[in-house]
Amino acid sequence: MYRKLHNGQLSIEDFHVPFGGTLDADNRWVIFSSLMPWEELEETYAPQFNPTTTGAPAKPVRLAFGALFIKQRLGLSDEETVEQIRENAYMQFFLGFAGYSSKTPFDPSMMVHFRKRFSEQELNRINELIAERGKAMVMEAVASLPDNDESDDPDAGTDKQISLDDLVKPADWPQDKNWGTLSIDASCTPADITYPTDLKLLNEARESTERIIDDLCSQLSTLRKHKPRYDRGRARAAFLNVAKQKKPRRRKIQAAIRRQLDYLQRNLDAIDALITSGAMLSGLKTHWWHKLLVISELHRQQSILLYSKTRSMPDRIVNLVQRQVRPMVRGKARAAVEFGAKISVSVRNGFAFLHRISWDPYNEAEDLIPQAKKYKQEYGCYPERICADRIYINTKNRNFCTRNDIRLSGKRLGRPPKNPEISAVHKQQLSADQRRRNEVEGCFGSGKRKYSLDLIMARLSKGAENSISMAFVVMCAEKIRRLLRLFFITIFAWLCTWKWPGSLWMGLRNLWLLEANQSLATG
């Protein structure tokens, strides 16, 4: 059952603070509360519950989504997130509380259920709504900048409109003319797992099956004869003898793998015999028989890799717990192979949006056309230019961009023009496109450095996808907050210098507009 608590945004004056005073309107959590589309969130959140069901009502959408937002913004654990909310009045205002309360708002285990309530598609839609609302707030702030009639510059009034046109598509823009810039790229969000090796995975699988055998034998205390007759200590010693070597030879590694495969096969045969004798897998905890299924597949894959003399395997298992993780060959200098989810991101006129999350490797060049079509759905036209890496510049994408009058970054085909002026223009465009493409790299760097994309702690695929999607929601909200903060700084400067010449005020205003546009372009 879901019960709507209140309508509209709670004001800071109505928020009860037991120790006196009122909340600061410039606080980041107060600004975030005005950016969030709470009503739209409730429309998608409430139908997930049965209105006729009796019992305690579900947690409000503002509490559920806000807690996930706080956790992602501060990079906290579930337990620490609850403690921070309990101690901070501004966070409680952001979550829709009527006043400050020192009581624990909910149990930390509820965060697991909150993550399940918001899918990747819903969070992407929320990100778009926040961007739209933030653009409107920035435009309103820029438009409210006072004009000084004492200025001698006849063209001073046009700077504001030009800057606004860089933020949002003008209403009178021709329908058949492209507008704006789209930057796209892909990256990997590493999962929280140890670096996998075949020998290490087989040893972990052997130890797990030994634990399963002990639990099944406890159900059939008279049938311990099914236990494999090998020394578990020697099996572990055989693993450590090779694993502790700094650079073991490949022949030794293969011999150790073959030996661990033999031990693992014995354990799997013993588990089958115990089940035949009456032991029940249902008596085990859920994660144990899930892990048993993964171990069976791991044994099959490693047997093929060992005896077929091949070194590649589709859907290769690299972790027994996070079975959705796959190796991603990225070819980076820091790590040639990464283990986690691969994401495709687009930056549309300064705002970053998540386009795709995949646990399997894929060619990111396939995403250029879908992202360009998504851009057209939002703005009503294709982008004027698409800034992308070299992997995106293939024949299919070139032909698509040519048909739709889109300038695709990268070197032009054919021989360079003989006219040096035309060649210089092309080089200048290439350099500008390269600089603009770097805004995607900045988005990845900021997400991994500040918003926990460098290491995804969630173990389940749904939780990991929620954390990745929520990171882009937080980045969008933070970007808008920085732009609004820059606006208030400019207003303060104007109040301090309102008696000075008009040229000084026009310089301050133009400086702010320039910085706002650069912030939108670089993320």
Please give the pLDDT value at position 285: 84
Give residue 225's pLDDT.
63
Q: By the 8 A CB rule, do 348 and 182 touch? A: yes
Structure tokens at 157: 């009034």
d(CA 28, CA 23): 11
Residue 160: CB atoms within 10 A of its CB come to 16
- Please say whether the dihedral angle defined by the alpha carbons of residues 106, 110, 116 and 119, taken in this order, is positive or negative: positive
Q: What is the Cα–Cα distance from 37 to 40, expressed in whole angstroms? A: 6
* β-pairing verdict for 351-358 and 181-190: unpaired
Residue 324: exposure state from Cβ atoms within 10 A (0-12, 13-18, ≥19): middle
- Owner of token pair 């400019």: 490
User: Which residue is listed with tokens 């990464």?
Assistant: 338
Q: Cα–Cα–Cα angle for 376, 381, 386, nearest 5°?
A: 75
Q: In the block, which residue shows the tokens 């409107």?
A: 136
Residue 109 DSSP code: T
Q: Number of C-alpha atoms within 13 angstroms, CB side, residue 167?
A: 29
Strands in 395-493 per DSSP E: 407-408
- Determine which helix (DSSP H) or strand (DSSP E) holds 158, and give its type and residue range: helix 158-167
Question: Which pLDDT score is estimated for 147?
Answer: 55
CA distance 178 to 405: 8
H and E: helices and strands count for the chain? 17, 6
Instruction: Kindly give the residue spans of alpha helices, DSSP state H, lying in 16-77.
Output: 28-35, 38-45, 61-74
- Residues in the chain predicted with pLDDT less than 70, given as ranges, are 1-10, 51-55, 142-167, 221-226, 333, 412-423, 425, 487-523
**Interaxial angle between packed helices 461-496 and 502-522, expressed in degrees from 0 to 180 and rounded to the nearest 10:** 170
Say what the pLDDT of residue 222 is.
Answer: 59
Q: What DSSP string runs through 246-302?
A: SS--HHHHHHHHHHHHHHHHHHHHHHHHHHHTT--GGGS-HHHHHHHHHHHHHHHHH
CA distance 344 to 354: 6
The answer to whether the beta carbons of residues 409 and 433 sit under 8 Å apart is yes
Which domains does the chain possess?
A: 28-118 (no CATH), 124-171+473-522 (no CATH), 181-192+329-460 (3.30.420), 198-307 (no CATH)
So what's the pLDDT on residue 59? 85
Give the pLDDT score at 422. 60
- In 3D space, the residue among 435, 423, 349 whose CA is nearest the CA of residue 170 turns out to be 349
DSSP state of 51: T
Q: Which of 71, 38, 35 is nearest to 481 (CA)?
A: 35
Between the alpha carbon of residue 346 and those of residues 354, 387, 439, 518, 523, the distances in Å are: 7, 10, 10, 17, 12
Give kind and range of the element (H or E) at residue 347: strand 337-348
Q: How many CB atoms lie within 10 A of CB 121?
A: 10
Contact 345, 440 (CB under 8 A): yes
Contact between residue 267 and residue 214 where contact means Cβ atoms under 8 Å apart: no
pLDDT at 499: 44
Considering only CA atoms, which of 93, 137, 33, 122 is closest in space to residue 480?
137
Q: Determine the pLDDT at residue 495.
A: 47
DSSP state of 388: -
- Give the number of C-alpha atoms closer than 13 A to the C-alpha of residue 512, restricted to the C-beta side: 27
Q: Any residues with CB less than 8 A from the CB of 448 and at least 6 apart, and which? A: 189, 454
